[in-house]
A and B are shown apart, each in its own frame.
Chain A
């Protein structure tokens, strides 16, 4: 085949393509009567173009919505010789859920069987399932067992007969106050899970089960998380319309992602629709990520609407700081005299009294001032003599330095699994120096990241914590006892210390709870175990000393006489 022949063939192919575009399938012999030696090769090439013509077909439109084929009935079977699968009660992209029977303990159970094609690593799934099984909470569906049967992994849990919130919303819509109470219960369960380092990632009505005692239980923990951890090809991440923007953007998730999803559920449960205008996945994705199409229905009461809007903020830092705060805000709204409206816009006043009788007393006592939480930064300091932190912080004028000793008396009420800072400092793109909690572990931050001790800081107990950043090492003390020694750090630039989070311009990793006093000292104040005093006193090495008994409006007075007053923000 000469170059000239190749040129001729290319021209003839184009001619054939043009004729074909007009509906004519012209034989090779007709196209090149003057070049009979090319007919055979032209014919071969034409056949190839016919075979590959599908490449020129238009793609189906994005809103093409062919119904899926019917699912054939599944044959009942017994897993691991013990769990008889009776009927499929739910099926999603990731797994089937069966009503089953435990032949050994002779009780009805639910058995979740992930589809093997969706499970990249059975080992990872099993490990995660076991971890999740350790979450014990009245609001979490109890996991009884995990196991394998051939290629199938499975999770056995209690069978909740009342159906899901999704079922209720369709078949028997609950009164708004009932819905809010259920969702507050789910927030309680979520908070418990978060404290154990588990982010649910797939909060939706179908995963909220209502038992025969009218309690809401959260199911399906950890499945999506296992899948996601399994690697890049893992295929289960949640359900699009309930996913938080950061989840869609593939960013790191934390408990506030679940708060967002619960906000979507709250909106849907109270108004009958999710706060987006489209359910087409690519459009919906954009609406969630940009937040521009988000519509919080005006049919909700002002309080509930405000809670919902806050939970649905695109920026996680602007949402409720924890599921616990979300729950407390909902209960505070329930305890007020402003009733949420139903989906048809009519107000239900009767339930307020009933709810107080049933459960609202506790809510009213526990959260009488919750509505004031957002009113002003200073209002966060609700209890005299303590600093109350829930997203706010104290900005100090003290640039970080070393050697330095950071210490505080703390009373954490919530411990985000991703960590939080008692005293922090940060430089964008680097890490600073900080006294931190990593989950529940006492930790410190130095230039390359967290160093965590094995010492667990208890929730809702006053604990003295200290970090001594020395020339040769860094030491952590809990209640005066050395619990960890790690590498030293060398500061590489000035940035002020902040109490209650990592930095004044970095809203992440916030401390939630109370502190009664904070001290920053030059040098290594502690070199051996010591007995901490109930409050701090200044001395020559003290650079900053804050005590919650000494505040002036938003000004936190420095008792060290160094003039380093802080600003409560």
Chain B
């Protein structure tokens, strides 16, 4: 769904069109489903223990409830609202599974070569491979300043291209790319400092 279509849906939803509102919820549901699958993809013990769809449907109910009655004013506003709810659900899911009864006792992240020692170090900003890693990631995003959070919302959670995200925010694609790189640096710092 491009931002023009989204804006049309938002305009129609504001005018009371239920189908347009449903379409917005569909968009958010789709992102939540894909992010849920990404979170639990490659985590065999959890996929065995739970089906992603089973998990998804429960989160979806709450997402629907959270978004059903809000007044969305713009595409940018919608993305911010939806992403906050989506991240909240993903945080809850991740948190739920890394506890004592969860499957996240062994926390692995990607390993990268160290430029100093030539050996390997654990980098907490690598791709999360278990619920605790995902929880740390989503929580780190929550701790970013709002303007930086918005970049992650649009590019990671909403999956927009650089050009689309730049248009939503009202900046140039070049500036957006620079800010995205800076945000990734910041996330790396937050995850390795606080994680």
Q: Which residues in A have some Cβ–Cβ distance to B below 8 Å? A: 10, 13-14, 17, 43-45, 47-52, 54-56, 58-62, 64, 66, 68-71, 92-93, 115-118, 120, 151, 232-237, 240, 243, 247-251, 281-282, 285-286, 289-290
Q: Are A68 and B174 in contact (CB under 8 A)?
A: no
Known contacts A69-B47, A115-B49; decide if A51 and B58 are in contact (CB<8 Å).
no
| Residue B92, interface by CB 8 Å | yes
| Residue B194, interface by CB 8 Å | no
- Chain A residues with Cβ below 8 Å from B101 are 116-117, 151
Q: How far is the CA of A366 from the CA of B103 in the complex (A)?
A: 55
Q: Are B187 and A52 in contact (CB under 8 A)?
A: yes
Our pick among B55, B174, B178 for the contact of A235 (Cβ within 8 Å) is B55
Q: Are A69 and B48 in contact (CB under 8 A)?
A: yes
Our pick among B50, B68, B103 for the contact of A93 (Cβ within 8 Å) is B50
- Chain B residues with Cβ below 8 Å from A54 are 110, 126-127
List which B21-60 residues lie within 8 A (CB) of chain A. 22, 25-26, 29-31, 33-35, 37-38, 41, 44-45, 47-51, 53-58, 60
Q: Are A47 and B115 in contact (CB under 8 A)?
A: yes
Q: Are B55 and A55 in contact (CB under 8 A)?
A: no
* The 3 nearest A-B residue pairs measured at CB: A250-B65, A93-B54, A54-B127
Q: Are B156 and A55 in contact (CB under 8 A)?
A: yes
Interface bin, chain B? 35 or more
- Chain A residues with Cβ below 8 Å from B174 are 14
Known contacts A51-B123, A282-B60; decide if A61 and B55 are in contact (CB<8 Å).
no
- Chain B residues with Cβ below 8 Å from A13 are 178, 181
Our pick among A50, A51, A249, A286 for the contact of B65 (Cβ within 8 Å) is A249
- Min Cβ gap B154→A in Å is 12
Q: How far is the CA of A410 from the CA of B90 in the complex (A)?
A: 51
Q: Which residues in B have some Cβ–Cβ distance to A below 8 Å? A: 18-19, 22, 25-26, 29-31, 33-35, 37-38, 41, 44-45, 47-51, 53-58, 60-62, 64-65, 68, 92, 95-97, 99, 101-103, 110, 112, 115, 123, 125-127, 152, 155-156, 159, 174, 177-178, 181-182, 184-185, 187-188
Known contacts A52-B188, A58-B159; decide if A236 and B97 are in contact (CB<8 Å).
no
Our pick among A17, A51, A115, A235 for the contact of B126 (Cβ within 8 Å) is A51
Known contacts A10-B181, A93-B50, A281-B56; decide if A59 and B38 are in contact (CB<8 Å).
yes
Known contacts A68-B48, A236-B58; decide if A281 and B53 are in contact (CB<8 Å).
yes
Known contacts A48-B188, A117-B96; decide if A14 and B22 are in contact (CB<8 Å).
no
Closest to A7 in B: B178
Our pick among B19, B57, B152, B159 for the contact of A240 (Cβ within 8 Å) is B57
- Chain B residues with Cβ below 8 Å from A240 are 53, 57
Q: Are A249 and B61 in contact (CB under 8 A)?
A: yes
Q: Are B185 and A66 in contact (CB under 8 A)?
A: no
Our pick among A43, A55, A61, A290 for the contact of B34 (Cβ within 8 Å) is A61
Closest to B131 in A: A117
Q: Are B30 and A62 in contact (CB under 8 A)?
A: yes
In the complex, besides A92-B54, A285-B29, 5 extra interface pairs with C-beta distance below 8 angstroms are: A54-B126, A59-B34, A117-B50, A286-B25, A290-B22
Known contacts A62-B33, A69-B47; decide if A232 and B62 are in contact (CB<8 Å).
yes
- Chain B residues with Cβ below 8 Å from A250 are 61-62, 64-65, 68
Q: Are A66 and B47 in contact (CB under 8 A)?
A: yes
Q: Are B34 and A117 in contact (CB under 8 A)?
A: no
Q: Are B19 and A17 in contact (CB under 8 A)?
A: no
Known contacts A59-B34, A60-B34, A285-B29; decide if A52 and B184 are in contact (CB<8 Å).
yes
